[in-house]
């Protein structure tokens, strides 16, 4: 099947007070590809991930646009069918491993429940699958981990567990929502390498949400740069770093520390660039009318 | 750690019970009016009165009386009822099952009604359904069990007479029971006709007792469910493909129920306290109804016995809740 | 914040309804001899069990009908309000005074004072409250003051628990520390700095407690242990109504409605007062 894994067309969303959080966002993720969504906090990158997975907060409402998961238009499905489709074809690697595991349930059932209850596997097959994945994320004592409660594991261990659980069901698309931000710097690198390795081996497409251009360079093939809910630039990762087109992208790069010379190049995103963007977006907002809603 | 917690609770329990015993003993002994005089026919001589006072130990000092009574209590001897002339402990055990059955049925109802309302309200958060649940629980909470009992008597005893408004069981029925746990035993004996008759008598007092507690459960559990439903692991469960109801039941309920549990324990003791007047209202032959008679008849040994049994029940409930909380909370269990 | 504001907006009409009912009932009780259409104690067997005014067989002047002794129900309710309100105010203030004082002491001084007071509260909480009240009235002898004392004695713990917890919270705040550094005495700080901050809770609890006192008085009258049997009380009327429920339902319905409205009003009023006084919600 060569259908595009995820296609987002003209997605716009507003808050309850009418403020726009996504402005006609379009992007596509091909099978097996890692697409980075980069931007500052509040740029709407996490919103896109949540919109795809159908877990937007109650205060955010989609007012126009389509989302196609392997050719299926999510907006046209019944809520139940949409839930099942998302549950079988996608997975989420959450931002904070400390809050993403239920404190009152053991790790084992939390990892297998989707395989058994949504995908209908039998318990033994699910258990084998989970153990295989735990091995892949380099957890050496799966028996202990599966029997543990979340608070008995370190943050890095929990994120490994969550990564293993995400890949276990062989989803076509994983949304990774800043999966390294909440971790220690040393652990960050290991986790990032792990995600990249599993992604290659399993051939899973990833929508990788991050604010960190350094991470983008390491993991993704393509990048969408977001500002204020709008995609301002979209390119192959290598091309973007070689020749950023949009002034905001250039400003963002200038504001990112380089590992070679961390302090020399560090400066805030240029005020003039931001002012220009704000004016551009305000003008677009005035002209914008949602097609429905 | 669990054991240590348990032992400390046991010690405070004993202190509380001792305090209750002292307070009730002192309160009763300052009562004007002579219970002995009430027992004797007019024209009894002073010697008769003195003999009877000695028989009930009322001729000693208060402190002596207290320790005589307390040493009896420790041995399981609560004395003899003055008005009913029977062993107090026997009388209490005869009536306690009726009260326990009523209280437990009421508790189950409260949990069922309140829990359902909380889950529904959390699932439909932000809608008119939630607003309706808020108004209903606010009203149910503000009106005490005594008034709910009267409302129910009017509605389902008089206006639409579907339930019985007095007694525990229809008097014309032949009861095969050997214990006082009628409801429980009727189920075990598969005598569902009797179960139904008992329930018909029990339902209205139980609802009257359950409604305020159900309201508290609905409000508190809904609030903590809503807080839990915004957490990351719940979002993750939604992504896994579980429906909102499954998410609430499997992921959110247990964690949200912990804070509610402690409060339900305290509220359950209030519910049992409420049986005193509700039993009176429905002429239900339980411990509370007997307690009011005991007070009216100035039956000192019986009052002491009943109050102490209620107090024991309350501290046991608090202990149970405390232990359950510790057991359900994995952090405490392994901490 | 938003939610709190919404609750407050929602309370607007409810506050007026609650306050309106309480004022109406209070005025009727104060001016009972002037507004009651009949003598509440006058028995007339010719007029027994008259139905309320809209039913056939009603007599003019007996708006809500009569009881089994031919006494006018409306007049009895109005006079019963006198006892209800006296008990509500006196018992609630007494419980508040005792409970809040002990709560402040326990919460502010901590240590042994807290341990002893908390233990007493524990003991009190192990009594079934209604049975305790009935026992106290039986011991003290029926009468208005016995009822008031009994309610205060059983319900001071409600104030004590809440005020203790709030005082503990307040005592850890920086401004209390500052006052201590500035050299104020402990009791001075407690009264000047801590007390004003727990007043909103006290006021709300006071209103709630008045509703509870009305109910407890009704329960005591219901088991025939409140005031003398002659004076009409809401609980006493309810007890009569419970007995003649199949012959004259109105003898139960009207006092019940009166009690429910009064209790609801007191609790709504308390909530509204808390919202108004609470600096955090405001």
By the CB < 8 Å criterion, does B235 face chain A? yes
- Residue B203 CA to residue B199 CA, distance in Å, equals 6
How many CA atoms lie less than 13 Å away from C157 in the CB half-sphere? 15
Question: In the predicted model, is pLDDT for residue C4 greater than 50?
Answer: no
3-state secondary structure of C227: coil
- CA dist C29 and C86 (Å) reads 10
* Domain CATH for C259: 1.10.3720.10
Q: How far is A213 from chain B (nearest CA, A)?
A: 25
C39 falls within a domain: yes
Q: Which CATH superfamily is domain B96-334 in?
A: MetI-like (1.10.3720.10)
**What is the value of ipTM here, to two decimals?**
0.87
Tens-place pLDDT, residues A109-141:
999 999 998 999 999 999 999 999 999 999 989
> Out of B125, B232, B254, whose CB is closest to A96?
B232
Q: What is the pLDDT of residues B215-265, one digit of tens each?
A: 999 999 999 999 999 889 999 999 999 999 999 998 899 888 888 888 888
Classify residue C184: in a domain, yes or no: no
Two structure tokens written together for B230: 């915004």
Q: List B63's β-bridge partners, or say none.
A: none
User: Hey, are the CB atoms on A151 and B330 less than 8 Å from each other?
Assistant: yes
Q: Is residue C165 part of a domain?
A: yes
Residues of B in contact with A58 (CB under 8 A): 125-126
Of chain B residues 98-157, which have a CB less than 8 A from chain C? 139, 142-144, 146-147, 150-151, 153-154, 157
Question: pLDDT above 70 covers what percent of chain A?
Answer: 92
Across the interface, do C119 and B16 touch by the CB < 8 Å criterion?
yes
Q: Do C263 and B147 touch (CB under 8 A)?
A: yes
Q: How confident is the model at residue A143 (pLDDT cuts 50, 70, 90)?
A: very high
**Secondary structure element (H or E) that encloses residue A11, with its range:** strand A6-15
Confidence of residue C50 (pLDDT cuts 50, 70, 90): confident
What is residue A59's predicted lDDT score, i.e. its pLDDT? 87
In a domain, C145, yes or no: yes
> Are the beta carbons of C122 and B28 separated by less than 8 Å?
no
- B254 contacts A104? CB cut-off 8 A: yes
Please name the member of A54, A58, A175 whose beta carbon is closest to the beta carbon of B126. A58
pLDDT band at C277 (very low <50, low <70, confident <90, very high): low
Instruction: List chain B residues with CB under 8 Å of A105.
Output: 251, 254
pLDDT at residue B304, as a whole number: 87
Question: Does the beta-carbon distance from A90 to B254 stay under 8 Å?
Answer: no
| Domain annotation covers residue C157 | yes
Residues of C in contact with B160 (CB under 8 A): none
How many Cβ pairs within 8 Å bridge chains A and B? 74
Q: What is the CA radius of gyration of chain B?
A: 24
Question: Residue B18 pairs with which residues in a beta bridge?
Answer: none
What pLDDT sits at residue B332? 55
With CB atoms and an 8 Å threshold, state whether C131 touches B307: yes
Determine contact, residues A75/A66, Cβ cutoff 8 Å: yes
Contact C43, C71 (CB under 8 A): yes
Residue A260 has pLDDT above 60, yes or no: no
Q: Which residues of chain B have pLDDT under 70?
A: 1, 31-43, 330-335
- Which structural domain range is residue C99 located in? 2-172+199-277
Per-residue CA distances from C236 to B187, C76, C152, C228 (Å): 39, 10, 21, 10
Q: Any contact of A with C, at least 3 CB pairs below 8 A? A: no
Report residue C132 as tokens: 């305790």
Domain ranges of chain B: 2-74, 96-334
Contacts 24+ apart (CB under 8 A), A54-60: A54/A82, A54/A83, A54/A86, A54/B238, A54/B239, A55/B235, A55/B238, A55/B239, A56/A13, A57/B230, A58/B125, A58/B126, A59/A15, A59/A16, A60/A13, A60/A14, A60/A15, A60/A21
Nearest CA-CA distance, residue B312 and chain A, Å? 32
Contact status, residue C255 vs residue C84, Cβ threshold 8 Å: no
Q: Helix B192-228 vs helix B88-123: angle between axes, to the nearest 10 degrees?
A: 50
Q: Are B101 and B184 in contact (CB under 8 A)?
A: yes
How many domains would you assign to chain C? 1
- pTM for this one? 0.84
Tell me the domain boundaries of chain A: 6-292
What CATH number labels A6-292? 3.40.50.300
Domain membership flag for residue C190: no
- A16, pLDDT greater than 60: yes
Tens of pLDDT, residue by residue over C102-129, are 999 998 888 899 999 999 999 999 999 9
Contact A55 B238 (CB under 8 A): yes
Q: Cβ contact (<8 Å) for B310 and C259? A: no
Q: What is the pLDDT of residue A7?
A: 94
């Amino acid at each position: 099947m060569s259908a595009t894994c995820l296609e987002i067309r003209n997605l716009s969303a507003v808050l309850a007070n009418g403020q726009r959080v996504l402005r006609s966002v379009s992007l596509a993720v091909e099978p097996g590809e890692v697409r980075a969504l980069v931007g500052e906090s509040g740029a709407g990158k996490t919103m896109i991930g949540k919109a795809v997975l159908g877990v937007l907060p109650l205060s955010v409402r989609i007012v126009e646009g389509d989302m196609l998961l392997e050719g299926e238009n999510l907006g046209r499905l019944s809520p139940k069918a949409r839930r099942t489709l998302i549950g079988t074809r996608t997975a989420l690697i959450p931002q904070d491993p400390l809050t993403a595991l239920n404190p009152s349930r053991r790790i084992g059932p939390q990892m297998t429940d989707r395989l058994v209850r949504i995908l209908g596997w039998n318990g033994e097959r699910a258990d084998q699958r989970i153990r295989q994945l735990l091995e892949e994320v380099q957890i050496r004592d799966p028996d202990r981990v599966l029997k543990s409660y979340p608070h008995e594991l370190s943050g890095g261990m929990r994120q490994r567990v969550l990564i293993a659980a995400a890949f276990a069901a062989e989803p076509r698309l994983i949304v990774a929502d800043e999966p390294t931000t909440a971790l220690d710097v040393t652990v960050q690198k290991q986790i990032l390498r792990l995600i990249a390795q599993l992604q290659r081996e399993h051939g899973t497409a990833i929508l990788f949400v991050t604010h960190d251009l350094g991470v983008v360079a390491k993991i993704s093939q393509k990048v969408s740069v977001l500002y204020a809910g709008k995609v301002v630039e979209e390119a192959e990762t290598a091309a973007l770093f070689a020749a950023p087109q949009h002034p905001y992208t250039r400003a963002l790069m200038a504001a990112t520390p380089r590992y070679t010379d961390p302090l020399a190049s560090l400066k805030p995103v240029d005020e003039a660039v931001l002012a220009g963007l704000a004016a551009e977006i305000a003008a677009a907002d005035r002209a914008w009318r949602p097609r429905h809603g | 750690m669990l054991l240590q917690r348990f032992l400390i609770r046991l010690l405070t329990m004993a202190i509380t019970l001792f305090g209750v015993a002292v307070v009730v003993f002192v309160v009763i002994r300052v009562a004007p009016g002579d219970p002995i005089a009430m027992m004797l026919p007019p024209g009894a001589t002073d010697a008769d009165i003195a003999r009877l006072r000695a028989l009930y130990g009322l001729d000693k000092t208060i402190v002596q009386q207290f320790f005589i009574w307390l040493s009896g209590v420790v041995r399981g001897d609560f004395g003899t009822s003055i008005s009913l002339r029977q062993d107090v402990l026997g009388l209490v055990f005869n009536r306690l099952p009726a009260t326990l059955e009523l209280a437990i049925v009421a508790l189950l109802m409260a949990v069922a009604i309140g829990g359902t309302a909380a889950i529904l309200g959390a699932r439909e958060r932000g809608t008119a359904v939630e607003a309706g649940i808020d108004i209903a629980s606010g009203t149910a909470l503000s009106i005490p069990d005594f008034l709910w009992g009267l409302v129910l008597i009017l509605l389902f005893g008089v206006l639409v007479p579907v339930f019985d408004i007095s007694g525990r069981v229809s008097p014309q029925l032949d009861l095969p029971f050997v214990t006082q746990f009628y409801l429980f035993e009727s189920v075990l004996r598969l005598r569902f006709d009797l179960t139904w008759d008992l329930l018909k008598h029990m339902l209205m007092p139980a609802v009257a007792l359950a409604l305020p507690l159900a309201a508290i459960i609905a409000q508190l559990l809904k609030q903590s469910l809503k807080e839990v439903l915004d957490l990351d692991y719940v979002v993750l469960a939604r992504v896994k493909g579980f429906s909102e109801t499954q998410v609430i039941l499997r992921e959110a309920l247990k964690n949200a129920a912990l804070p509610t549990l402690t409060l339900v324990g305290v509220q359950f003791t209030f519910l049992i306290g409420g049986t005193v007047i509700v039993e009176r209202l429905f002429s239900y032959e339980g411990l509370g109804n007997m307690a009011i008679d005991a007070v009216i008849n100035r039956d000192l040994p019986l009052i002491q016995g009943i109050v102490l049994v209620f107090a024991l029940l309350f501290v046991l409930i608090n202990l149970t809740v405390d232990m359950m909380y510790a057991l359900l909370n994995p952090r405490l269990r392994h901490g | 914040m938003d939610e709190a504001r919404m609750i407050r907006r929602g309370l607007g009409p409810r506050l007026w309804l609650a306050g309106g009912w309480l004022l109406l009932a209070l005025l009727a009780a104060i001016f009972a001899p002037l507004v009651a259409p009949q003598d509440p104690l006058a028995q007339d067997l010719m007029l027994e069990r008259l139905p309320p005014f809209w039913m056939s067989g009603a007599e003019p002047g007996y708006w809500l009908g009569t009881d089994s002794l031919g006494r006018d129900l409306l007049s009895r309710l109005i006079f019963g309000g006198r006892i209800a309100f006296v008990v509500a105010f006196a018992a609630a203030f007494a419980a508040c005074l005792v409970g809040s004082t002990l709560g402040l002491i326990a919460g502010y001084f901590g240590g042994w004072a807290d341990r002893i007071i908390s233990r007493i509260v524990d003991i009190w909480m192990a009594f079934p409250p209604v049975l305790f009240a009935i026992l106290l009235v039986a011991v003290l002898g029926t009468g208005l003051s016995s009822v008031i004392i009994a309610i205060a004695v059983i319900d001071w713990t409600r104030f004590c628990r809440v005020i203790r917890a709030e005082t503990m919270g307040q005592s850890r705040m920086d401004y209390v520390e500052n006052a201590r550094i500035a050299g104020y005495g402990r009791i001075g700080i407690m009264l000047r700095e801590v007390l004003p901050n727990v007043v909103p809770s006290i006021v709300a609890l006071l209103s709630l407690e008045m509703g509870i006192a009305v109910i407890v008085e009704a329960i005591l009258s219901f088991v025939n242990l409140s005031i003398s049997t002659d004076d009409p009380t809401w609980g006493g009327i309810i007890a009569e109504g419970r007995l003649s429920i199949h012959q004259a339902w109105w003898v139960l319905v009207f006092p019940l409605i009166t009690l429910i409205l009064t209790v609801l009003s007191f609790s709504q009023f308390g909530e509204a007062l808390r919202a108004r006084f609470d600096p955090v919600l405001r």
